[in-house]
Amino acid sequence: MRVDQNNVHEDAAATGGIAADRLRSIIERVERLEEERKALAGDIKDIFSEAKSAGFDVKVIKQIIKLRKQEPAEVEEQETLLDIYRRALGM
C-alpha cells in the first residue's frame, strides 16, 4: 500500500489544528451541558422533596407532568383503554 505524503501531512495538520480545536469545542460544550443537566436534576429533586414535605404524592405529580407532555387525544385514548382493561379485570 502506497502512502501519499501530502495526505499524511494534511491529516497531521488537521489533527493538530482546526479539527482538534473543533473537537475540543464540541467536547467542552457537551461537558458544560452535562453539568447544567446535573444541576437541574438536583433542582428538580429539591422541588419534589418540597412537594413531599407539603403532603403531596410525588408519584402522582410525576404522572401529571407526564400527562401534560402528551397530546389531549393521546391522554384520552390511554384513559379509555385503562378503563376498558379495568372493566375486563372486574376492577
Instruction: Encode pLDDT of 58-91 as tens digits.
Output: 999 999 999 999 999 999 999 999 999 999 999 9
Query: What is the count of structural domains for the chain?
Result: 2
CB-based contact 21:31 (threshold 8 Å): no
Q: What is the pLDDT of residues 9-56, one digit of tens each?
A: 555 556 667 789 999 999 999 999 999 999 999 999 999 999 999 999
Q: Are residues 44 and 62 in the same domain?
A: no
Same domain? For 48 and 7 the reply is yes
Same domain, yes or no, for 24 and 8?
Answer: yes
77 and 61, same structural domain?
A: yes
Q: Does this model's pTM top 0.75?
A: no
- Note whether 35 and 69 are same-domain residues: no
63 and 86 housed in the same domain: yes
Residues 1 and 21 in one domain: yes
Phi-psi region at 90: left, alpha or beta (left = phi > 0; alpha = psi -120 to 50): left
| Domain assignment of residue 74, given as a range | 57-91
